[in-house]
């Protein structure tokens, strides 16, 4: 068997140091010159090894600061019962202007943050369903929808992107279609209940992929970090009330927990 290429051997050594803690998060890797001398290789070979680790999301190169081991944010666990934790008990009083005593959404529940630590960027547009959205809604392509793009922040840091759609015939000319009312305590579940269609079923399909350039910039992702993309449907009875395409989460910041009662 031929020897492994030198750049792979160097990457193996550095990767092992990151995993066993001898190169802790935030620490600088040896310099290019030090790695060249230690392994008897050219600078090009060292750069290939560093590029491999950067592509794996293990290190990042900072301008003027060398290459350092990435500091990984704490992983949060997201369970399906999060919806039950914030779901309204039934149709709310539409005339009430009083929010709950302790407002929350599934996001604030996941992040374990207060309403004061929560921030939301929002963008509302009126669109028509493409064939995929039409199939998800079980409606004809071309049906008018309200498109809402949200960026969720916890303690000032972007943590999640969500692009969701609601039938315009359901939300048009209601407070739900007004971005000034966001964030809405209870989130989309509470909004659908307010409209008289409390959700009775949640469906999610999860896949992993690399982020788009816009997603990477918005979520401040370093190279090599994939995202989880969740397509969600909220149903009330037999009707599809909302489609999220997609909920985008950095894969190194979240674990999705699922429990099934048998």
Residue 74's pLDDT band (boundaries 50, 70, 90)? low
Q: What pLDDT does residue 95 have?
A: 40
CATH number of 6-69: 1.10.10.10
Compute the distance between CA of residue 147 and CA of residue 177 in angstroms, rounded to an integer: 9
Residue range 12-24: mean pLDDT, rounded: 91
pLDDT at position 47: 93
Judged by average pLDDT, the poorest of 135-139, 196-200, 220-224, 234-238 is: 220-224
In this structure, are residues 197 and 238 in contact, taking their beta carbons and an 8 Å threshold? no
pLDDT > 80? residue 105: yes
Q: pTM above the 0.85 mark?
A: no
DSSP H helices, 103-255, are 106-111, 131-137, 168-171, 187-194, 213-218
Q: Apex CA 205: angle with CA 199 and CA 209, to 5°?
A: 140
The Cα-based distances of 9 to 3, 12, 201 in angstroms read 9, 5, 51
Residue whose C-alpha is closest to residue 185's, from 112, 110, 125, 97 = 97
Instruction: Considering the domain delimited by 76-257, tell me its CATH architecture.
Output: 3-Layer(aba) Sandwich (3.40)
Domain ranges of the chain: 6-69, 76-257
Structure tokens at 186: 């209870």
126, 129, 133, 137 alpha-carbon torsion, rounded to 10°: 90
Confidence of residue 96 (pLDDT cuts 50, 70, 90): very low
């Amino acid at each position: 068997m031929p020897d492994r290429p030198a750049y792979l051997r160097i990457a193996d050594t550095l990767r092992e140091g990151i995993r066993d803690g001898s190169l802790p998060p935030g620490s600088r890797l040896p310099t290019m010159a030090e790695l060249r001398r230690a392994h008897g290789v050219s600078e090009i070979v060292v750069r290939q090894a560093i590029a491999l680790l950067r592509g794996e999301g293990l290190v990042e190169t900072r301008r003027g600061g060398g290459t350092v081991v990435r500091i990984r944010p704490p992983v949060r666990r997201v369970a399906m019962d999060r919806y039950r934790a914030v779901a309204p008990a039934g149709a709310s009083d539409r005339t009430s202007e009083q929010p709950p005593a302790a407002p929350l959404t599934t996001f604030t529940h996941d992040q374990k943050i207060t309403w004061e630590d929560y921030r939301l960027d929002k963008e509302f547009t009126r669109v028509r369903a493409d064939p995929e959205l039409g199939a998800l809604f079980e409606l004809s392509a071309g049906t008018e929808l309200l498109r809402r793009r949200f960026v969720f922040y916890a303690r000032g840091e972007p943590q999640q992107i969500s692009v969701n759609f609601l039938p315009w015939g359901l939300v048009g000319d209601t407070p739900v279609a007004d971005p000034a009312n966001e964030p809405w305590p209870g989130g989309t579940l509470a909004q659908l209940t307010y409209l008289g269609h409390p959700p009775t079923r949640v469906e999610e399909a999860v896949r992993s992929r690399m982020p788009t350039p816009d997603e990477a910039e918005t979520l401040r992702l370093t190279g090599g970090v994939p995202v989880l993309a969740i397509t969600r449907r909220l149903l009330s009875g037999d009707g599809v009330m909302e489609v999220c395409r997609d909920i985008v989460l950095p894969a190194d910041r979240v674990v999705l927990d699922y429990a099934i009662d048998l």
